[in-house]
Amino acid sequence: MKLADLTAGYVEKVDASTPLAEAARWMVSRGVGSLLITREGRVKGIFTEHDLTRAAAHRVDLDEATVGDWMSDYPHVATPDWTIERAADVMVEYDIRHLPLVDDDGNIAGIVSIKDVLWALRGPTVT
């Protein structure tokens, strides 16, 4: 199975200037654990639940601090033709839970989470 099989291609994106509180509300309303920050259609950064937790632990003002202050710049990315196993290896090696997908031209093609990868590796379940 390839990563392209796990994503519909749509990715939640925000601007780096988005306040953390707004990003948190967006993530909750969309049921996602990460948001991509883009510039001209390219991945500039990723903001995750982990980043939000770090910011809260530092007691920053969530209405004043921005996604750009806490995001991970230029995250690891994969291509849609990667295997699930390769993605799992990269996610474990770099301790990441979200892996943006980019096509051969660097355009955003989707995102997979560790939950997506585990679901795919587990295979069908018997109930």
pLDDT, tens digit, 9 for 90 and up, residues 51-104:
999 999 999 999 999 999 999 998 899 999 999 999 999 999 999 999 999 998
pTM for the whole structure: 0.87
User: Would 127 be classed as within a structural domain?
Assistant: no
pLDDT tens sequence across 4-62:
988 876 789 999 999 999 999 999 999 999 999 988 878 899 999 999 999 999 999 99
* Side-chain-side CA neighbours of residue 32 (13 Å): 21
User: Would 13 be classed as within a structural domain?
Assistant: yes
> So what's the pLDDT on residue 29?
95
Q: What CATH number does residue 17 fall under?
A: 3.10.580.10
User: Would 62 be classed as within a structural domain?
Assistant: yes
| Residue span of the structural domain in which 95 resides | 3-121
User: Would 93 be classed as within a structural domain?
Assistant: yes
Residues 6+ apart with CB under 8 A from 72: 45, 46, 47, 48, 51
Count the domains in the chain: 1
